[in-house]
Structure formats: structure tokens, C-alpha cells
Amino acid sequence: MKKSEVILTKYSPLMAVDAKLVGSDGSPTETPRVYSLCRCGESMFKPLCDGSHAQAEFVGEREDSDKPPLEYYEGKEITIVYDRFMCMGAGYCGELEAVFGTHDAPKYDPDAASAAEIIDTIKKCPSGALTYIFNGKHEKDYCRETCIVVEKDGPLHCQGDIELKDDQSSDALLPDADHYTLCRCGGSKKKPLCDGSHETNGFHG
């Protein structure tokens, strides 16, 4: 299997190459080998591009490239690794409140639950913001297959071996993990990455 790619410029949609597309209902979507995905939020045929970005005069320039260093929260058994820049507020970590706190009062307490519970929770994080060190190994690659999953009313989940290529060197901002999320509402300040703006800007699709 060839490596999958997502390629774009500031003015273009996302061009996916050799990437299986999975719909928001979990079913695979038939696509040609190369296809375009909407990232301006205006397409009538989401998740695919219908050219609306031209009429919308969409410019996908990133406003926030300020990536802080990784944060390490070391516990007795497991270390939580947090890439703050990548967090888009998916909220799965909040399911383990004793460790991760709440949306309004986040925290990172790696001794407040079992390592197994923390690992299960971290593996649900789609953006790559959360990974972990266990038994001396940084675990960050755990997608079973390479594909792009469309989240209803949310971003694209890139999973597996998908290279990101664009004219803003966005690949340098990606998490050290085999998964990341790409904006498709057009509202992120971290374009082409999702920053959670879809939660508040009324994006549907």
C-alpha cells in the first residue's frame, strides 16, 4: 500500500491521495484515488469540495503557529504527554475526570486512575494531543488502519500513515503520533489543523 497524503495550499481544498475515506456513520465512502475535501465549510457536498471556496474567497492562512513545548506529567506507572497546541477539545479525556479534570478546570494527575484506564482514555483522543509513556516507551502510534474519518459537525480525523504537505510547513506542527485532526469548518486559527472552533461557530456537515 502506498503512503497516503493530504496536500493543500492556502487557497485550495484538501487533496487526498490514496487515502480511504470513512463517513461520519463509520461506513467507507467510494472515492477516486485522488479527491478533494472541503475545508472552507461552504460545500453543498460535504465532506467533498464543490468549488465553493472560490466564491467564498476562502484563504486558509494560519493565524496561530505558536506551538509550546510538550508537557510531561510523570506518575508512578505512566507518564501523560500533552501536546497543548494540538488539543481541539474533543473531550474524551473528560470522561476520566479524576485524571484530566473538566473542560473548565483541566488537570493531569497520572496517579488518579489505573494505567489501563488512562491508556484507554488517551487512545480516544483523535488530535494526537495526548499520548503516553509506559514501561519506558513513548506510545503514540495506535491507529489500526490508514484512513480519513469524517466527524459529524467536526474535523477530519487523519489516522495511520498520512503525510501532510502544504505551503505553510504545517507538518512541522503535527503531533508526534500517527493521528491528527484537520479543520473542515473554515474557522480554525491553526489551519489546516482543527482548533475546536467548529464547536462554537455553528458548523454543520
Distance CA 64, CA 55 (A): 25
> Of 113 and 164, which has the nearer Cβ to ligand FES?
164
Judged by CB under 6 A, the chain residues 138 through 177 that form the site for ligand FES are: 154-155
Q: Give the DSSP H or E segment for 130.
A: strand 130-134
Which DSSP string do the residues of 156-188 spell out, in sequence order?
Answer: EEEESSEEEE-TT-GGGGS-SSSEEEE--SS--
Give the helix ranges, DSSP H, for the chain.
52-55, 97-100, 115-122
- 98's CB contacts (< 8 A; 6+ apart) are 109, 112, 113
> Of 51 and 89, which has the nearer Cβ to ligand FES?
89
Give the helix ranges, DSSP H, for 68-188.
97-100, 115-122
Size of site (CB under 6 A) for ligand FES? 13
Q: Which of 140, 157, 179, 198 binds ligand FES (CB under 6 A)?
A: 198
Nine cell digits for residue 156: 477530519
- Least Å distance, CB 62 to ligand FES, is 12
Judged by CB under 6 A, the chain residues 63 through 102 that form the site for ligand FES are: 88
Judged by CB under 6 A, the chain residues 175 through 194 that form the site for ligand FES are: 183-185, 187-188, 194
> Of 140 and 198, which has the nearer Cβ to ligand FES?
198
Is 49 one of the binding residues for ligand FES (CB under 6 A)? Answer: no
**In contact, 165 and 6? CB cutoff 8 Å:** yes
Q: Which of 40, 126, 195, 205 binds ligand FES (CB under 6 A)?
A: 195
- Least Å distance, CB 78 to ligand FES, is 28
- 82's CB contacts (< 8 A; 6+ apart) are 70, 71, 72, 73, 108, 129, 130
- Least Å distance, CB 197 to ligand FES, is 4
Give contact residues for ligand FES (rule: CB under 6 A).
88, 154-155, 183-185, 187-188, 194-198
